Amino acid sequence: MAAVRCAFLPATTKGVRCPNANLARARRDATTPRPVVVAPRRGGGDGNDHDGVDDGRRRRRGVGVVARGKKKKGFAELLGGEDEPVVVAKSKSSTELSASERCPCGGGAEGAPYARCCKPFHKNESYPDDCVTLMRSRFSAYAKGEGEYVVKTTHPENPIFRDGAKAESGKVVSSLAEDVRMTCKKVKFYGLEIVTDRAGKNAEEHLVGFKYKCRVVGQKGFKEGAEENHSELSTFRKGAEDGKWLFLDGITGAVE
């Protein structure tokens, strides 16, 4: 065995084995940081002990009780601290959302809330990639009173957009923006169902057929509060400037 210098002997002493060599080595090891290894979870049948080691021994070894849903407190835990239970926030399902949180279009297959469904479109944070999504976002805009979005997503060749809303006499009574604004105030929209999603007569057009329910509120001459069922086949056309889909026109009562 090679000679080991001992901290308890003078520096000039040579060839003398230190009786406390092991103690000196232990002191050096104690001051050297060592990585803490978290043992992987192994399946167990009793639900309490997943790798044959009790929790007390886990904490003494610095092993994280990941399977128990524990949150690590950091280095303090390695010195004997206790685990702290993790509080996991449960996401709401579409049936648990309040009326203001639900998206009027239904939220798609996932039942997404308004904040993650149509709101980003209404607030100009993004734009729909396809006609069905555009149709849903327009329906939600009517329900939420987002009239500017309806106007923004209407093709310039739409008759009302181009010429305004006309009475039977042919007189222009309102613009598209005014018409949408009044509709949003007087009609409650809900119960959207997409029926048709198919290509139009050319690559520049697309058709979306849908059904929906509504209630007229506060408009003289209508059955206030009575539920009404409607359907429409909408035609969408790409815009000339940026190629984005825009609503062109619709046929009321049709879905195919």
The C-alpha R_g of the chain, in whole angstroms, comes to 35
User: From first to last of its 256 residues, what are the pLDDT tens digits of the chain?
Assistant: 444 444 333 344 444 444 444 544 555 555 555 555 555 554 444 544 444 445 444 444 444 344 444 444 443 444 454 555 544 444 555 557 676 788 999 988 888 999 999 999 999 999 999 999 999 999 999 999 898 999 999 999 998 888 877 777 888 777 888 888 888 888 889 999 999 999 999 999 999 999 999 988 865 655 567 889 999 999 999 998 899 999 999 998 877 7
CA-based nearest residue to 37, from 56, 63, 11:
63
The CATH code for residues 108-252 is 3.10.450.50
pLDDT in tens, 49-80: 444 445 444 444 444 344 444 444 443 444 45
What is the DSSP track for 97-121? S-TTTB-TT--GGGT-BGGGTTHHH
**Per-domain residue ranges of the chain:** 57-87, 108-252
Residue 160 in 3-state DSSP? helix
Q: Locate 143 and state its tokens.
A: 């329900």
For the stretch 15-56, pLDDT in tens is 444 444 454 455 555 555 555 555 555 444 454 444 444 544
